Structures are given as structure tokens and as C-alpha cells.
Homo-oligomer: A and B are copies of this chain.
Amino acid sequence: MTLTATKPEGKVLIKGNYAIANAAVIAGCECYFGYPITPQSEIGEFMSGKMQELKRAYVSSESELASINMVIGACSTGAKAMTSSSSCAVSLMQEALSYATAEELPVVLVSVMRGGPGLGNIYPSQGDYNQATIGGGNGDYKLIVLAPGNVQECIDLTYKAFYLAHKYKNPTMVLADGLLGQMMEPVTFGDYPYPEVDDSAWALTGAKGRGRRVIRSYAPSADDQCVFLNKLYAKYALIEEKEVMYDEYMTEDADLIVASFGSMSRNVKSAVKIAREKGLKVGAFRPITISPFPNKRLKELSCSAKKFLVTEINMGQMVRDVRLAVNGKVPVEFYGKGVGSMIDVEDLVDKIESLIEV
């Protein structure tokens, strides 16, 4: 596997990890900080060469705690900066993510899930949906989380992550999994499709010709903190209003809607196709932003559909969000497994049939 040229012409066959890394370079990422962990180490490996070649910043950090805090430092100057990691190592970033949210910094983090809990193993998994969308940082905060379903989306959503992070000054995560990170698919890169966000109003650049700027999370009084939190949550409401993305397939007349995210959704779509061929009224729903979650759309769909099936490679995480959105209107079933490759299309079809028969 050779490293791709920065902006390759036309279609190229590329691994998800390299696709993400190269997209970050094209998006203008100025700083990469990272510590290796399977199954995403290729991102840092690609960056180590490419960033130096382009005279941008790259640090092999001593730990993930250091990586994420280096990103915070770089972002505080308005730079486009990122790190990437996986599962147990993303656990170590929770404090910093909570800080970055409170400090309203455009941190970009790529998380490529592997099996958990603990060290777990390096097989694909979707076990970090909770970690990504709720997190273990302290206090009330939210990340923006984008979940690509194929390698092309790894690119598109990496672009988008930089844009949204800077537009909303909020840490933004691209949540992939080992399968997406390791697989290859033909993709096109194109140009970074978003406008540059002006950060001159807040970035730290030295207090020349202006008063000093302070980026902090410490609120000396409880009242200040409440005011801040209300502002923060107003921002989240705005993001939910403006930025929710999802993908639907044959949901219009579906009795059963199968919801999934990330690479699981490819199999789901295929299963739905097969089920449709069998005359079953099934549709597929995939949140692309898993935070904010497409609550509104799912609520709408719960008026037409008779049942939902949520399928994930975990013990049932996104299913909570679907249940909250559907709010008891129709039953929401779960079909998953702890870790490993995606559930087979055939098994999904069986499951769909069993649910429609009932």
C-alpha cells in the first residue's frame, strides 16, 4: 500500500484509514497529534510522512491524553487540528473532550472502533456508540458525531467534521469501525467543499492590538455556569435543527424499518432489498449524524411504520436513541451481537421475516 498523492485524480482504491487521513490533509488540517492503536494506526502513519512533507505539524505523542490535549492547544489558536484513536484509548480522552466542549474548541477526533470492553480485541465493533454520543466526560456536553457507512463517506464526513467543528466551535468526531478503517473501496477526493470559517474573533494569536483572550472552562460562579450551559444547549438545538443527516431507503410505505449506523447499514440495505423482493414492506434508516440524532425524522416515521428493528454490533446502544425518538409509538426491537464482523445479510433477512410474520 503506497501513500496516496495528496489530491489524487479520479477514482482511487484506498483503505478507509488512509482515506480519512488524506481527506484531513486536503481539508487543510494543519496539525496531527497521535499515538498508535490498531485498527487505526495507518492514519498516524500516513500523517507522519505527509505532514512533514507539507511542513505542517505532526507529533508522535506520548499518549492519547497528550494527543487530545495537544489538539486542544493547537485548536485554541484557531488551527485545524486533529487526532485519531480507537476505543480504550478514546476512553482516555474523556476529560479533555469535556474541557474542549466547555472551551468551545474545534477539535476533530477520528475514532475507529474495535471490540471492548477493556483491551477487548481489534475486530470491528460498534461498541463505542455510547462513548461517542454520550461520553464519560463530566458535566453536560455533547459532541457532534458523524458515522460514515463506506469509504467515500469516510472522506466526505472528514471534510464535514472540520467544517462543523469550526463552524460551531464544538469538538466533532468521525466514528468509524475496524471494518471501515481496514477495507478498501474506490473513492474520489475532489476539493475540500466547505468555506473556511473565520476564527479571528476568538483565536489565540497573542494580544497584539487588542485585549487578551481567555479560553477556559472554569466558571467561578454557579450562575455564570448556568448561563453558559443554557447558551451551549441553545447551540446544540441549533445544530440539531440545521445539521442532522440521515439516509433512508424505501421507508415511505414500510411496515418495518430497520435502523443501523456505520458499516452495519450496508448489510441492512442489502437485506431490505432482498426482503422487498420477497414482497415484504421493509425500509432502512441510517443516521449519519448520530449526535445530533435524527429524532424528528424518526418520530415522523413512527407514524407510518408499524415496527422498528435496530441492529448494531454491540449489546444495544443506538437502540436507546431510537426508542427515545419513537417514544413508545410502535415497538422497537433489537438485534445485535457483541463484536466481530457485521451481521450477515441472510441472517438479517431471516430476522426481518420473523418480525413481519409476527
A residues at B contact (CB < 8 Å): 65, 87-92, 94-95, 98-103, 113, 115-121, 123, 125, 127-128, 130-131, 134-141, 216-223, 225-226, 228-230, 233, 314-317, 320, 323-324, 326-329, 337-341
Contacts and interface: CB of A to CB of B under 8 A. Distances in A.
A98 B103 contact: no
B315 A94 contact: no
Given A134-B130, A328-B328, A339-B225, A118 B103 contact: yes
A121 B225 contact: yes
Q: Is the interface of A mostly helix, strand, loop or mixed?
A: loop
Contacts of A94: 91-92, 94, 136
Nearest to A89: B95
Contacts of A134: 130, 134, 136
A137 to B, nearest CB: 5
A292 B27 CA distance: 44
Contacts of A131: 135-138
Contact of A217 (B89, B119, B228, B316): B119
A101 B127 CA distance: 14
B130 A102 contact: no
Nearest to A218: B119
A219 B87 contact: no
